[in-house]
Structure 1
Amino acid sequence: MSDPETELQRIAVLLAERHRELTAELVDAFRERIPELPTDPALVELLVGSSGANLETFVHLMRGHMKVEDVHAPVAAVEYARRLAQRGTSPSALLRAYRIGQQLILQWAHAQLVRVADPTLALRTAQLLTDTSFRYIDAVSEDVVEAYQAERERWLANRSAVQRETVEALLRDERRDVTTAESSLGYRLRQHHLGLVLWTGPGAGDLAAAERTVGAIAERLGAGHPLFVPRDRETAWAWVPIGRDAATDPDAIEDLLGARDGQVSVAVGPVGAGEPGFRTSHLGAAAAQQVAQLGQCPPGHVIRYDDPTVRAAALLSRDLPVTRELVRRSLGSLAEDTDGAARLRETLLAFLEERESYVATAARVHLHKNTVKYRVDRAVEARGRPLGEERLDLELALIACRWLAPEVLLRPAGG
């Protein structure tokens, strides 16, 4: 008289006999029902190998050739998981393939149980078959997920290293094959770029927030997938691709960060085209970041290199001793580190930028025209010289105070 183990072995023999056919059916089902799986020939060949090896190993388990405790994922299945990790395919797609495979094999095997005349024996065999399949999937899926995760971590670490090396070579303007560089970066160089430098506060070390910020900026600008390259625990470089249309909303990034939690500061470079633009946009962002850090800008601040005063401050920051002397000579007591002097400096700089128009300055700084005139007169008095005397030095000194204040201001008299 037969028993469930014997019937299970009979089904296993039938599965083995149809190994090639069933493997093809499994692969077709995976490709049809899981569109995330890669479709290039090399990966499809690996999928065939993985499916066939899993089916063969499951047959051995059904026939009692091994204990479930000894079951491990076949080499081909592990290799396929690793390759999916390298491609960035979601692990959920991998696990779904195992669930679909289990479903299809159980459907086919259950169809063979109609030959069993004894309903009780058929039911017990079906229960044993189902239990065996779940134990197999549990053991194997744990192996392949572990292999996937380990390979993903290794691949990302290696890719990050390759990306950093490629980026640094591009920024050094070393001659490189553009196609090879694009492949290493996973990013097209032959388009317009918006370079960003992002950083968090000391000790925050949350580059995940920086990466989310880059993604949000790209989405706000309607851009493609950005390139994000961590530099250390608190700093990252990024490039947002904006295609061949170089138009961007200059206020979009400030509006976006204003609505967020204020953890991440962003320096924005000028839009640049092609490989040279990739470099110049980053260099502008890096110069703007230096200005922000010297000026101790608050967390969550956006600083843009396309602001002429930022560009001037970046130049002035290259020789701080000379800039300090310029500020002292040009501003006199107006360069003192006090709230009152700061208000006078900001009003005076706006007045100069608005071509000495009290009306335009009042509209810009949201003050009454008479208040603007009062502050300008006070500023000129504190300076000790008329506005027209060494006008260029005056504007540069005011710009230095705006952006580099902690580095260039004077201590108050008697302070």
Structure 2
Amino acid sequence: MASHDERAALLVARIAGSLNQRLVTLTADITDVLYSEIPDLRADRQLFDLLGASVEGNLDTIFHTLQHNIAPENLEAPAAAMEYARRLAQQGVPVNALVRAYRLGQTNLLELVFDELGGEAVEPELGVPVLERIITVMSVYIDRVSQQVVEVYERERERWLAHQSSVRAVRVQEILAGNEHPDAGASAALNYVLHQNHLAAIIWVTDTGSGDMLARIESAAHDFSGFMGAATDPLFVAADRVTGWVWVPLGTRSAPRRGYGELREFLEARHPGLVMAVGGVTNGPEGFRQSYTRAQRARALAIAAGKNAPVVTAYDDPGVSTVALLIEDLAATRTWVRSVLRGLAVDNENAARLRETVQVYLASNLSNVAASKKLDLHYNSVKYRVKRAAEERGEDFTGDRLAVELALLVCQWLGPVVLTPDQAKGEPTVKGGGGR
């Protein structure tokens, strides 16, 4: 006479065999449930047949495992299930949709098992062991196989994105270099409309030892795009592991939704550790290039300014485009600034205070009263500081006012990079780059 365990195993095999005879019908039913209950799986109707093949392969494996008492720990996911995971990764379907499909499939299969078991004349002492065996096999199998398909999904997603990113980067480089006519084909290849208004920006990490930050940078790029009023998804290209380029599609909008002051606050609050250079709004394919070029110039200025630069350097901000041109020959600019400002170009607090006062005084059309209101000082204090500044410089500011204003603007941006080291502190090593 068969033992209790043998009788339970025979009943499990009979139930699995009965279900396997209805494999085609059960596959269709569960496939329909997954397709209707998980919206992300409906992104591409062409994948419906592959979803069915994946369901069939998993059901067939589970039924045979139960029929022949195979250890589920040794099973591998069916080939169709692996391929379906790869295709979902290529389509950008979220991985949680794939995981949910396995859990929902397991729930529906359990209901079928209960129905099948209810139609059997089961001895009372066999009911629990039979259910335990079936549930254990299904749970172990689903857990093991879902982990396998998720790993396949993630590898394929990484590979696919790297491929797509490299192809996109090549096309963008060709357009920026003027080697490709930016027609409708180029827009389709980039999934980005070139005949519209653009706002280009460069986002990077100042700490080059922080590792691969591209995921953070890309997230910030999408966040920034939405904040500035993008009409559709932005175009993002990885320049290297710590730098990304982004074009915000503004459609017919002639200006971003928010100003650069708001953007600075937004970036500091949402993405600390990242800095940005923005190229301004331009139009059409040529504008696509132009905004990027301006962003590159703003970035060069931010890097030269180091810690003196704000978290967002905007090409459209007053003085940025001018100073960005002057840093192309930083040594010559440094010499020129010191020759124009002379004693005012010393890197110490007293000279900095005098430079600020003169800068506001000149911007106030040489009015001590107007400057005093902006600086929140008594007008006699402004008058005294302007006099002291002229003495430090060796002449007043009326003869070459434009040169003085420009030199002060350069000092405001570049600080120690162009200033004369304070001899009282010792001469520090000044570099033209680094920092932001």
Task: Tell me whether the two structures share a fold, i.e. TM-score over 0.5.
Answer: yes
**Equivalent residues in 2 for 1:333-352, closer than 5 Å:** 333-352=343-362
How far apart, in 1, do the equivalents of 2:367 and 2:288 lie? 39
Q: Which residue of 1 aligns with 2:78?
A: 74
Q: Which residue of 2 aligns with 1:267?
A: 277
CA 1:281 to 1:360, structure 2 compared with 1: closer, same or farther past 3 Å?
farther
The counterpart of 1:218, out of the listed 216, 225, 250, is: 225
CA shift for structure 1 position 310: 0.8
After superposition, the C-alpha distances for 1:151-183 in whole angstroms (9 at most, x for unaligned) are 122223223322332332232122155555445
> 1:326–1:393: 8 Å Cα contact kept in structure 2?
no
More deviation, 298-307/183-192: 183-192
How far apart, in 2, do the equivalents of 1:243 and 1:55 lie? 49
CA shift for structure 1 position 96: 0.7
Q: Secondary structure at the match of 2:279?
A: strand
1:87 is the counterpart of 2:103: no
CA 1:83 to 1:182, structure 2 compared with 1: closer, same or farther past 3 Å?
farther
How far apart, in 2, do the equivalents of 1:370 and 1:210 lie? 50
How far apart, in 2, do the equivalents of 1:262 and 1:67 lie? 50
1:237 is the counterpart of 2:241: no
Percent of counterpart pairs with the same letter? 40
The counterpart of 1:371, out of the listed 349, 361, 381, is: 381
TM-score normalised by the chain length of structure 2: 0.85
How far apart, in 2, do the equivalents of 1:65 and 1:126 lie? 14
Q: Which residue of 2 aligns with 1:153?
A: 158
> 1:288–1:310: 8 Å Cα contact kept in structure 2?
yes
Q: Which residue of 2 aligns with 1:331?
A: 341
How far apart, in 2, do the equivalents of 1:179 and 1:62 lie? 56
1:101 is the counterpart of 2:105: yes
The counterpart of 1:48, out of the listed 32, 49, 52, is: 52
CA shift for structure 1 position 34: 1.0
**Equivalent residues in 2 for 1:156-305, closer than 5 Å:** 156-176=161-181, 178-202=183-207, 203-205=209-211, 207=213, 208-223=215-230, 224-248=232-256, 249-250=258-259, 251-259=261-269, 262-298=272-308, 301-305=311-315
> 2:220–2:271: 8 Å Cα contact kept in structure 1?
no
Amino acid paired to 1:361: A
CA shift for structure 1 position 185: 4.2
CA shift for structure 1 position 206: 6.5
How far apart, in 2, do the equivalents of 1:65 and 1:112 lie? 18
Unaligned runs of 5+ in 1: none
> 1:221–1:252: 8 Å Cα contact kept in structure 2?
no
> 1:263–1:300: 8 Å Cα contact kept in structure 2?
no
More deviation, 289-298/368-377: 368-377
How many residue pairs were aligned? 415
CA shift for structure 1 position 222: 4.2
CA shift for structure 1 position 6: 2.6
More deviation, 326-335/367-376: 367-376
CA shift for structure 1 position 328: 2.9
Q: Secondary structure at the match of 1:36?
A: helix
CA 1:401 to 1:358, structure 2 compared with 1: closer, same or farther past 3 Å?
same
CA shift for structure 1 position 289: 1.4
Q: Which residue of 2 aligns with 1:22?
A: 26
1:36 is the counterpart of 2:44: no
CA 1:327 to 1:177, structure 2 compared with 1: closer, same or farther past 3 Å?
closer
CA 1:211 to 1:347, structure 2 compared with 1: closer, same or farther past 3 Å?
farther
The counterpart of 1:9, out of the listed 10, 13, 23, is: 13
> 1:334–1:341: 8 Å Cα contact kept in structure 2?
yes
> 2:51–2:84: 8 Å Cα contact kept in structure 1?
yes
> 1:296–1:406: 8 Å Cα contact kept in structure 2?
no
After superposition, the C-alpha distances for 1:175-215 in whole angstroms (9 at most, x for unaligned) are 15555544554544444332222232333346255444434
More deviation, 324-333/288-297: 324-333
The counterpart of 1:401, out of the listed 401, 404, 411, is: 411
How far apart, in 2, do the equivalents of 1:381 and 1:30 lie? 82
CA 1:179 to 1:33, structure 2 compared with 1: closer, same or farther past 3 Å?
farther
CA shift for structure 1 position 379: 2.5
The counterpart of 1:133, out of the listed 133, 138, 142, is: 138
CA 1:159 to 1:28, structure 2 compared with 1: closer, same or farther past 3 Å?
same
CA shift for structure 1 position 301: 2.2
How far apart, in 2, do the equivalents of 1:261 and 1:370 lie? 44
How far apart, in 2, do the equivalents of 1:345 and 1:151 lie? 58
How far apart, in 2, do the equivalents of 1:205 and 1:70 lie? 37
TM-score normalised by the chain length of structure 1: 0.89
CA shift for structure 1 position 390: 2.8
Q: Secondary structure at the match of 1:54?
A: helix
How far apart, in 2, do the equivalents of 1:368 and 1:79 lie? 77
Q: Secondary structure at the match of 2:40?
A: coil
